[in-house]
Structure 1
Amino acid sequence: MHDITILPADLIRLLQTDLTRLDVHRLQELILGVDYEIAMLKKAKSQVDAALTKRYGEQAQTALAATGRDFGTAHLTDGDVAIKAELPKRVRWDQEKLAEIARRITAAGDTVEDFIDVKLSVSESRYNAWPPTLRDQFTPARTVEAGKPTFTLTSGED
């Protein structure tokens, strides 16, 4: 590898046209540097979040409980600093049990969509494995769009 000439912190000052003109080895070094910085920042953010939870989590839960809630936003203070603590509610639904409930709703003559949000999808591997006669029935409901491209640079030095 070559010496890194562009640091991730300098990246924001560069125009996209400047980046597209970089020597490929410099571009590769820039990618590695940015990926490293991202990993370090994610780790640092996780540690800071854990410290905040350890320091204020119990206070926030107590403040919410005092208002009869387990989840939501609590406002705390630490000296002259105001702290907004958000303890979100995460709900997960058992898909097999919901499917059974949906069958019972249908069997009772009701409309499933009146009770359950239904999103239908077909896996691409399943769609591609179907015979053309079946696939042709689904094709009008299928839209194909380009995803975000990704590029991986590797040199003989790696």
Structure 2
Amino acid sequence: MTLLERCLGRLASELADYSPEMLFDLKKEASEALATAKANVDWIDRALDLRYSHIAAQQRLAADKDTGTVTFTDSDIRVSVELPKKVEWDQAQLSRIVERIRAAGKDPVEFVEVTYRISETRYNAWPASLRTSFDAARTLKTGKPIFRLSSPGDET
């Protein structure tokens, strides 16, 4: 039984009392198990793609759709294959279209959703006097903390 298996089900507060070396070993073992699991999922997904992608493509063609979910059976197994739609818009072209709409005397907001963004790198490079005028529109949110443990001599 591995160290990780022995610790499964324990409260996080109990693990927090473990030595740094033990936490390091647990984190390393869990990360390796996750990497292996992800590799296995990718491998199986590739096999599923090889087996079912042509059937799904035929089903979508028959339904006259390029994307979306199709469902069929193989033996006693129900197979659903989703091909998500991912739309990207050319920002420069959209900007020109918005200007043409505005020049024609219409409100582009009726047709186009406009989102403003500022690169954090650029924002941080601005002089304080410029940043101040934007500060009221800026909200900083944080994500989940990521902990990386290493032992002396580790390259990673």
Range into which the TM-score falls when normalised by the shorter chain: 0.7 to 0.9
Calculate the TM-score normalised by the size of structure 2.
0.86
Cα RMSD over matched residues? 2.1
Deviations 1:30-73, CA, capped at 9 Å, x for gaps: 11111111111111111111111111111111112112222222
Structure 1: give runs of 5+ residues left out of the alignment: none
The higher-RCO structure (CA 8 Å, 6+ apart) is 2
Distance 1:78 1:143 in 2: 50
Q: Report what 2:146 is aligned to.
A: 150
Change (3 A) 1:150 1:80: closer
| 2:80 corresponding residue in structure 1 | 84
User: Is residue 2:11 matched to residue 1:6?
Assistant: no
Partner of 1:138: 134
Deviates more, 1:114-123 or 1:71-80: 114-123
**Residue aligning to 1:96:** 92
**Which segment is superposed worse, 19-28 or 144-153?**
144-153
- Counting aligned pairs with the same residue, the percent is 38
What amino acid sits opposite 1:96 in the alignment?
A
- State how many pairs are aligned: 154
Matched, 1:48 2:48: no
Runs of 4+, deviation exceeding 6 Å: none
| Residue matched to 2:56 | 60
* TM-score where L is the length of structure 1: 0.85
